[in-house]
Chains A and B, each alone.
Chain A
Amino acid sequence: MARLLIRGGRIIDPAQNLDRVGDLLIEDGLIAGYEPPDGPCDEVLHAEGKIVSPGLIDMHVHLREPGNEEAETVETGTAAALAGGFTTVACIPNTRPPIDSQAAVAFIQNQAAKADHCRVYVVACVSKGREGKELAELGQLVQAGAVAFSDDGDPVENSELLRRAFEYCQMFDKPILNHAEVRELTRNGVMHEGLVSLVLGLPGMPAEAEDVMTSRDISLAEATGGRIHIMHVSSVESVDMIRRAKTRGVRVTTEVCPHHFTLNDECLRSFDSNFKMSPPLRGQRHVEACIAGLVDGTIDVICTDHAPHAAEKKMQELDKAPFGILGLETALGLVVTKLIEPGHLSWLQALEKMTVNPARILGLELGTLQPGRPADVTVIDPDIRWTVDKNQFRSKSRNTPFHGWELQGRAETVIVDGRIKYRAGELASVAIA
């Protein structure tokens, strides 16, 4: 029997509302309990002063394979995930070709198995070829292992198609993840529409472009009883609409990315394309609305929207540079530095949004340290201060606006299925015979 004991850490498991100092025992890849074993351990991790969390889950990651392997592969993306403390990622199907078939799902699963870093779940396309015209073979995709559906990168624009998808997906109890953006309102846009875009002369993407589609998505989910997960919410109104829909019992969930609670549209004054993302960095009142949504629980999940781009693509004129930034290797530090340290969220609240909540939305038996569950564990050093250095990233790309930032908190040891897959530093590891 393989035994690993994590000794003396602060165990935080939001799924059980657990926050206490103690030991965590792992046996044969499963959580065994909170007491040291009678017999010997293969390894003991000393975690005094550290936080022992369920393995972090990022439900919104672009691994870029197949099609854009110059930016990221399943191998490099999952290595980056481990370094960021994530034991599970869900990858989004805007690849080339898109993941809209059983074979494509199997390909990702194979690449993930070969890489053998963290768990990878596949979000498959809502529509064939991500063209927004007809439904993909959702039932077959579920059988292949798809955990949710999304045409992310492009919204599902056709309301009738989305309604059918809501109806049909209820047979499998799978959510639709939608990127809320009315394209007619954001055409050619590179940044949030506001005073800053006006002064810089850059074409704007108004918050209403997000709000109009969020409103539609909620209405259709409400009418059909389907499950909608609004991706990367970023505006005052959208957060508020979701808040109100939840009180009515609509099956709506949502997520926010670290850049939307840490940066605002003033950053674009540098004209640096590392501040170009979709939805765009908005004005400060929107940033505050995202934080408020996290605090009151309207926002269920913190995800990264990890979007690698090769340097030659990103280092172009702002209108040509693609949208998106890296997220996996900076998310935890930003959550600690910008949400936990200033007192917006407790550790329990923050980790809930990075463990059990995404697990529940995707229907995964993960994200908790309950005995009997797979032993995915992230040991976090909550006090360590470190400087983001994009050249140290495991990701294949370097497009981050956080290079040079000093952050607090980092994953120290990452365990997947009972196996230590990543160690950052000094955590003692002593084998006991």
Chain B
Amino acid sequence: MAEIPEELRNIARGWQRSHLLDLESLSREEILQLLDLADTFKQLTDNCTRKLNLLPGSTCANLFFENSTRTRTSFSLAARRLGADTIDFSRSGSSLSKGESFIDTAKNIEAMKVAAVIVRHGTPGTPQLLAQNLRCPVINAGDGPHEHPTQGLLDILTIRERLGRIEGLTVALVGDIAHSRTARSNLWGLKKLGAHVILCGPATLVSPRWRELDVEISHNLDEVIPRCDVLNLLRIQFERQEQPPFPSVREYALLYAMNKERLARAKEEILVLAPGPINRGVEVTPDVADGDHSAILNQVTNGLAVRMAALWLLCGHAA
């Protein structure tokens, strides 16, 4: 077994938090520490392609009460890159579909001596509830529209990598702000690191109350585009709403889809992000999604790095 570098050990020992539930409660320094460690892991693993043997014999449990492909895969891969094993639980095919409460399910899984529980759930606050009921670290992999801290971190890491800084940048989060955990995690992280944040989308999905947090809101993407350094295009979460928030998809695309014409009015260095999955033709047209300004695939690699960092900070002190 390879020796664990002393520096990595010290970073994990210095980390004060037991769980990663949101970015709202993290300090600027803690966010920077996560980002820097993600950078370190990228270097140590040749862009997350090699395996480190930091958490041998540990098991990370993915507890996904809501569908997910990329986040669950990303967490699993991140755990394995650190040398840990993973187990997956999903709602269907588990005792949850037999009526067991989710706290009971989680306690059972904890009793199998897992090192960390990674939870995704449709209801805000569920990771907090688990954190109160479990002794092992809990990582929030998305709780309804509340937060998705590792997604926020990977978006910010991608911006920092491509543009060299966060401070002073203007970042627009565009689309379904109301139902987006990505928007909330980005908002807190970006604000703490000194970016100017614009929330842009139809009035039914962007509440004027956001202004109380010293955030700019806009319903006019065309006005916003020339001022932005980064556009983060959020998926319309049709599954979270009973009443359609706008008259038609066609009308939404007309007002808010990021297409070639809109891109032409942006700054030359504009960076386009999308947390995925994307609705091609709704939030973004294929030519933009696959174009030079798009960092969509960088985001995927950075997701691995950020999740390795989170797992190491929460589990590394015991390794």
Taking Cβ atoms with an 8 Å cutoff, the residues of A that contact B are 187-188, 194-195, 198-202, 270-271, 312, 315-320
> B19-73: which residues lie under 8 A (CB-CB) from chain A?
24
Interface pairs (19), CB distance under 8 Å: A195-B209, A199-B24, A200-B124, A200-B125, A201-B143, A201-B146, A201-B147, A201-B179, A202-B125, A202-B146, A270-B128, A271-B128, A271-B129, A315-B103, A316-B101, A317-B126, A318-B124, A318-B125, A319-B122
Check B123 for interface membership: any CB of A closer than 8 A: yes
Name A268's closest neighbour in chain B (CB-CB). B125
Roughly how many angstroms separate A195 CA and B210 CA in the complex, as a whole number? Answer: 7
Check B201 for interface membership: any CB of A closer than 8 A: no
Name B104's closest neighbour in chain A (CB-CB). A312
> B152-196: which residues lie under 8 A (CB-CB) from chain A?
179, 181, 184
Chain B residue numbers with a CB within 8 Å of A194 are: 209
Chain B residue numbers with a CB within 8 Å of A271 are: 124-126, 128-129
Chain A residue numbers with a CB within 8 Å of B245 are: none
**CB-based contact B242/A187 at 8 Å:** yes
Name A271's closest neighbour in chain B (CB-CB). B125
Check B294 for interface membership: any CB of A closer than 8 A: no
| Chain A contact residues, majority secondary structure | loop
With an 8 Å Cβ cutoff, the count of chain B residues facing the other chain is: 26
Roughly how many angstroms separate A43 CA and B212 CA in the complex, as a whole number? Answer: 62
Chain A residue numbers with a CB within 8 Å of B207 are: 198
> B60-92: which residues lie under 8 A (CB-CB) from chain A?
none
Check B112 for interface membership: any CB of A closer than 8 A: no
Chain A residue numbers with a CB within 8 Å of B184 are: 199, 201
Chain B residue numbers with a CB within 8 Å of A201 are: 124, 143-147, 179, 181, 184
Roughly how many angstroms separate A113 CA and B102 CA in the complex, as a whole number? Answer: 41
Q: What is the CB-to-nearest-CB distance from B148 to chain A, in angstroms, rounded to a whole number?
A: 10
Chain B residue numbers with a CB within 8 Å of A199 are: 24, 184, 213
Check B120 for interface membership: any CB of A closer than 8 A: no
Name B24's closest neighbour in chain A (CB-CB). A199
Roughly how many angstroms separate A200 CA and B179 CA in the complex, as a whole number? Answer: 11
Roughly how many angstroms separate A318 CA and B181 CA in the complex, as a whole number? Answer: 17
**CB-based contact A317/B129 at 8 Å:** yes
Q: What is the CB-to-nearest-CB distance from A103 to chain B, in angstroms, rounded to a whole number?
A: 34
Q: Chain A CB within 10 Å — which of B125, B207, B242 has the most?
A: B125
Roughly how many angstroms separate A187 CA and B240 CA in the complex, as a whole number? Answer: 13
Name B101's closest neighbour in chain A (CB-CB). A316
Chain B residue numbers with a CB within 8 Å of A198 are: 207, 209-210
List 7 additional A-B contacts (Cβ < 8 Å) besides A202-B144, A312-B101. Answer: A195-B213, A198-B209, A200-B124, A201-B179, A315-B101, A317-B121, A318-B125
Q: Chain B CB within 10 Å — which of A198, A202, A316, A320 has the most?
A: A198
Roughly how many angstroms separate A201 CA and B128 CA in the complex, as a whole number? Answer: 14
Q: What is the CB-to-nearest-CB distance from B192 to chain A, in angstroms, rounded to a whole number?
A: 14
Chain B residue numbers with a CB within 8 Å of A319 are: 122-123
> B111-141: which residues lie under 8 A (CB-CB) from chain A?
121-126, 128-129
Roughly how many angstroms separate A298 CA and B125 CA in the complex, as a whole number? Answer: 37
Query: Would A317 and B209 be within 8 Å (CB), given that A199-B24, A201-B184 are in contact?
Result: no
Roughly how many angstroms separate A320 CA and B144 CA in the complex, as a whole number? Answer: 14
Q: What is the CB-to-nearest-CB distance from B132 to chain A, in angstroms, rounded to a whole number?
A: 9
Q: What is the CB-to-nearest-CB distance from B241 to chain A, in angstroms, rounded to a whole number?
A: 10
Chain A residue numbers with a CB within 8 Å of B121 are: 317
**CB-based contact B125/A195 at 8 Å:** no
Roughly how many angstroms separate A312 CA and B101 CA in the complex, as a whole number? Answer: 9
Name A187's closest neighbour in chain B (CB-CB). B242
Give the residue of B102, B145, B181, B242 whose beta carbon is less than 8 angstroms from that of A317.
Answer: B102
Name B131's closest neighbour in chain A (CB-CB). A271
> B200-228: which residues lie under 8 A (CB-CB) from chain A?
207, 209-210, 212-213
Give the residue of A202, A312, A320 whose beta carbon is less than 8 angstroms from that of B124.
Answer: A202
Roughly how many angstroms separate A202 CA and B101 CA in the complex, as a whole number? Answer: 21
Roughly how many angstroms separate A202 CA and B184 CA in the complex, as a whole number? Answer: 12
Chain A residue numbers with a CB within 8 Å of B210 are: 198
Roughly how many angstroms separate A195 CA and B212 CA in the complex, as a whole number? Answer: 8
Roughly how many angstroms separate A201 CA and B210 CA in the complex, as a whole number? Answer: 12
Name B180's closest neighbour in chain A (CB-CB). A201
- Please list the 5 inter-chain residue pairs (A to B) with the smallest Cβ-Cβ separation, ordered nearest first: A271-B125, A201-B145, A201-B146, A317-B123, A201-B124
Q: Chain B CB within 10 Å — which of A202, A271, A312 has the most?
A: A271
Name A320's closest neighbour in chain B (CB-CB). B123
Chain B residue numbers with a CB within 8 Å of A270 are: 128
Roughly how many angstroms separate A423 CA and B39 CA in the complex, as a whole number? Answer: 67
Roughly how many angstroms separate A198 CA and B146 CA in the complex, as a whole number? Answer: 9
Roughly how many angstroms separate A207 CA and B311 CA in the complex, as a whole number? Answer: 42
Q: What is the CB-to-nearest-CB distance from B26 to chain A, in angstroms, rounded to a whole number?
A: 15
Q: What is the CB-to-nearest-CB distance from B229 to chain A, in angstroms, rounded to a whole number?
A: 25
Roughly how many angstroms separate A320 CA and B101 CA in the complex, as a whole number? Answer: 11
Q: What is the CB-to-nearest-CB distance from A121 to chain B, in angstroms, rounded to a whole number?
A: 37
**CB-based contact A318/B209 at 8 Å:** no
Chain A residue numbers with a CB within 8 Å of B146 are: 200-202
Chain B residue numbers with a CB within 8 Å of A202 are: 124-125, 144, 146
Roughly how many angstroms separate A344 CA and B122 CA in the complex, as a whole number? Answer: 42
Roughly how many angstroms separate A319 CA and B147 CA in the complex, as a whole number? Answer: 16
Chain A residue numbers with a CB within 8 Å of B242 are: 187-188
Chain B residue numbers with a CB within 8 Å of A312 are: 101
Q: Chain B CB within 10 Å — which of A187, A199, A202 has the most?
A: A199
Q: What is the CB-to-nearest-CB distance from A129 to chain B, in angstroms, rounded to a whole number?
A: 26
Roughly how many angstroms separate A198 CA and B144 CA in the complex, as a whole number? Answer: 12
Q: What is the CB-to-nearest-CB distance from A195 to chain B, in angstroms, rounded to a whole number?
A: 5
Chain B residue numbers with a CB within 8 Å of A318 are: 123-126
Chain A residue numbers with a CB within 8 Å of B124 are: 200-202, 271, 318
Q: What is the CB-to-nearest-CB distance from A305 to chain B, in angstroms, rounded to a whole number?
A: 23
Q: Chain A CB within 10 Å — which of B101, B124, B207, B213 has the most?
A: B124
Chain B residue numbers with a CB within 8 Å of A195 are: 209, 212-213
Roughly how many angstroms separate A312 CA and B100 CA in the complex, as a whole number? Answer: 11
Roughly how many angstroms separate A318 CA and B146 CA in the complex, as a whole number? Answer: 13
Q: What is the CB-to-nearest-CB distance from B207 to chain A, in angstroms, rounded to a whole number?
A: 6
Q: What is the CB-to-nearest-CB distance from B300 to chain A, in angstroms, rounded to a whole number?
A: 24
Q: What is the CB-to-nearest-CB distance from B94 to chain A, in angstroms, rounded to a whole number?
A: 16
Q: What is the CB-to-nearest-CB distance from A224 to chain B, in angstroms, rounded to a whole number?
A: 34
Chain A residue numbers with a CB within 8 Å of B179 are: 201
